[in-house]
Amino acid sequence: MLIIIGVLLFELIVLIHEGGHFVSAKLSGVKVNEFALGMGPKLFSFTKGETKYSLRLLPIGGFCSMEGEDEDSDDPRAFGNKAVWKRIIIVAAGAVMNIVLGLVMTLILVLQQPFYASTTIAAFDDNSVTSNSIQIGDRLEEIDGYAIWNARDITFALGTCQSFSPDIKVNRNGQSIDLGNVPLATYDNNGTKQIVRDFYVERVDKNFFSVCGETIGQTVSTVRMVWASLIGLVTGKFGFNDMSGPVGVASAVTTVASAGLESSFLDAFNNILNVMMIITINLGIFNLLPIPALDGGRLFFLLIELIRRKPIPQKYEGAIHAAGFALLMVFMLAVTFNDIMRIVTGSGFG
């Protein structure tokens, strides 16, 4: 049941993404030839109006095929014959809808919580290490250079610290104070030293305003987390082994589902929903990067067209996107193989 739920949630992410392209294309008067959920051979299809709707065998993606999207077309309703601003909206709509879906998923999770965590220190464990520097009532502002806006930021910042004594900034009595390098509590995890939180934060009571604030805040924090992770990959803060493809994601979903089942089916579902929330926001942001074959790559060419007032010749743009797609497939195969190696041997080759 949990596997089915995971697959359905993933297909929901794809449906929302491609649905964003589909609806914005229809509203812009673009002819949509086919709207497909899944990839590979068709399981079944039907045609309504001018559009074929199909369900395909492999639940690993989908597409919205528009007239004149990748080739020249004389049809006045072709994608390439529409105003640049309309094409920009159509291309960006998929990623935007992924982030909106992440917001909805976050709301579902937030509504189930009896109260919320703040960023203000409320108490410490006995023999706490951080209590030597941080005081009760301090509001965390920054950890290891990462701005702290809510409790999710604290978890991410501590989980990605490059030091066991990171630079920490707090707000104390209305004044921002840089505490310098603050030693954190650690524990030994099978020979690996890891940070453990030895402090507690104040709770925020649940009401209409705190639900709205927490939903928006957690969504924004997830966007920031994904962006910071991408920057970390480029700068070398994170390595190849920190990445996961479909196999790694499936393994992660299985792990969090199993952990949740130890308490209840609802906890397992919420764990899966939380992973899918991160995935849909990740997909939205990644798709907006100016990489050929991605939506962001198409947006890049559209912005060039908007500036120079004429499009890049289709044959050149098409060749660039084809090359980008080939490179992405090679990269995805490498990530997938690394996922499999990590599952089988316990470590990848990155």
pLDDT > 90? residue 332: no
Same domain, 47 and 84: yes
Same domain, 103 and 141: no
Dist. CA 159–CA 215, nearest whole Å: 22
Residue 17 lies in a domain: yes
Are 179 and 105 in contact by the 8 Å Cβ rule? The answer is no
Residue 147 lies in a domain: yes
pLDDT of residue 170: 96
**Highest mean pLDDT out of 58-67, 72-81, 144-153, 267-276:** 144-153
Instruction: Please tell me the least confidently modeled range out of 126-135, 190-199, 201-210, 279-288.
Output: 190-199
pLDDT of residue 350: 53
Instruction: Please tell me the least confidently modeled range out of 68-77, 89-98, 119-128.
Output: 68-77
Residue 217 lies in a domain: no
Q: Tokens 């130890």: give the residue.
A: 262
Mean predicted confidence (pLDDT) in 223-233: 88
- The type of residue at 85 is W
Q: Which residue has the higher pLDDT, 148 or 339?
A: 148
pLDDT of residue 78: 92
Q: Tokens 């739920």: give the residue.
A: 5
Same domain, 97 and 127: no
Mean predicted confidence (pLDDT) in 296-314: 90
pLDDT of residue 212: 96
Beta partners for residue 58, in sequence order: 39
pLDDT of residue 349: 61
Same domain, 325 and 340: yes
**Highest mean pLDDT out of 56-60, 123-127, 311-315:** 123-127
Q: Domain limits at 163? A: 116-205
Mean predicted confidence (pLDDT) in 163-167: 92
pLDDT band at 136 (very low <50, low <70, confident <90, very high): very high
pLDDT > 90? residue 9: no
Dist. CA 329–CA 333, nearest whole Å: 6
pLDDT of residue 348: 60
Last residue of a domain, one of 157, 174, 205: 205
Mean predicted confidence (pLDDT) in 84-96: 95
Same domain, 89 and 143: no
Residue 280: name the closest of 130, 57, 101 by CA.
Answer: 101
Residue 295: name the closest of 99, 102, 104, 96 by CA.
Answer: 96
Dist. CA 73–CA 80, nearest whole Å: 7
pLDDT band at 249 (very low <50, low <70, confident <90, very high): confident
Query: CB under 8 Å, gap of 24 or more: what pairs does 229-237 form?
Result: 230/285, 230/286, 230/289, 232/160, 237/160, 237/162
Mean predicted confidence (pLDDT) in 89-100: 95
pLDDT of residue 316: 84
pLDDT band at 251 (very low <50, low <70, confident <90, very high): confident
Mean predicted confidence (pLDDT) in 40-69: 89
Dist. CA 330–CA 19, nearest whole Å: 27
CATH of the domain at 151: 2.30.42.10
Last residue of a domain, one of 205, 230, 260: 205
Mean predicted confidence (pLDDT) in 325-335: 84
Same domain, 106 and 121: no
Instruction: Count structural domains, the chain.
Output: 2
Return mean pLDDT, the chain.
Answer: 89
| CA-angle at 110, arms to 288 and 123, nearest 5° | 110
pLDDT band at 318 (very low <50, low <70, confident <90, very high): confident
The residues carrying an active-site annotation are: 18
Strands 167-172 and 146-147: unpaired
pTM metric for this prediction = 0.86
Last residue of a domain, one of 173, 188, 205: 205
Q: Tokens 């220190």: give the residue.
A: 121
